[in-house]
Amino acid sequence: MQADSPSSEPSRSDIDALAGATVVEFGASWCGYCQAAQPAIGQALTAHPHVRHIRIEDGPGRRLGRSFRVKLWPTLVFLRDGQELARLVRPAAAGEILQALAQIDANG
């Protein structure tokens, strides 16, 4: 599953308006925790091809991350029709990501 990395940060209302299953991943390209989590995130998302994956480059002053109260990276927010159903902070294994994905993926 290829992550969608928007060229400009979407607004909170854009995210809230998304239909279907979505994972919003907050992190930073230079973050060691984010880099270490990528294999587990990729493995889990491959098993759920109907889930939209949006990667957001987060940092100080970024409104979207603050609106979700992101404090540590990576933070994965699992949404169904714009509503948060699960959240993982610094996931270590694909299994915990798969459990959260099962909560939002009606096609899985």
Q: What are the boundaries of each domain within the chain?
A: 12-104
List the beta bridge partners of residue 23: 53, 78
Residue 34 pLDDT: 98
pLDDT digits (tens, 9 = 90+) for 6-46: 668 899 999 999 999 999 999 999 999 999 999 999 999 99
Q: Above pLDDT 70, what percent of the chain?
A: 93
Residue 89: exposure state from Cβ atoms within 10 A (0-12, 13-18, ≥19): middle
Contact 54, 25 (CB under 8 A): yes
pTM beyond cutoff 0.95: no
Q: Which fold has domain 12-104?
A: Glutaredoxin (3.40.30)
Q: Where residue 1 falls among pLDDT bands split at 50, 70, 90?
A: very low
Which residue, chain included where needed, has tokens 């995130």? 41
Which residue, chain included where needed, has tokens 């899985």? 108
pLDDT digits (tens, 9 = 90+) for 67-77: 999 999 999 99
Residue 4 pLDDT: 74
Mean pLDDT of 72-93: 97
Mean pLDDT of 87-103: 96
Q: How far apart are CA 12 and CA 94, in angstroms?
A: 27
Q: Kindly report the backbone phi and psi dihedral angles of residue 45, in degrees, each rounded to the nearest multiple of 5, phi listed first.
A: -70, -30
